[in-house]
Amino acid sequence: MFSSPTWPCVSRETVRVSRWVLHVDLDQFLAAVEQLRHPELAGRPVIVGGSGDPTDRAVVATASYEAREYGVRSGMPLRLAVRRCPDAVLLPADNPTYEAASAEVMAVLREFPVVVEVIGWDEAFLGWDGAGYASPEELAFAVRAEVKERTRLSCAVGIGDNTLRAKMATGFAKPGGIHRLTAHNWFSTLGGSPTEALSGIGAKTARKLADLGLHTVSQLAEASPTAVGRTLGPRMGPYYVSLARGMGRTEVEGTPYVPRSRSRETTFRENLDDWSRVREEISALALRVADDVVEERRDVARVGVKVRYAPFLTRTRSITLPEATRDAAVLEAAAVEVLGWFDPAKPVRLLGVRAEFVEP
User: Which residues carry out catalysis?
Assistant: 123
Question: Strand, helix or coil at 344?
Answer: coil
Angle at 103 between CA 125 and CA 99, to 5 degrees: 110
Rg (CA), the chain: 23
Instruction: Give the Cα separation of 85 and 46 in Å (integer).
Output: 10
Peptide bond into 322 cis (omega under 30): no
Instruction: Give the Cα separation of 65 and 71 in Å (integer).
Output: 10
Q: Render 144-209 in DSSP notation, one character per residue.
A: HHHHHHHH---EEEEEESSHHHHHHHHHHHTTT-EEEE-TTTHHHHHTTSBGGGSTT--HHHHHHH
Instruction: Give the Cα separation of 321 and 303 in Å (integer).
Output: 7
Contact 298, 326 (CB under 8 A): yes
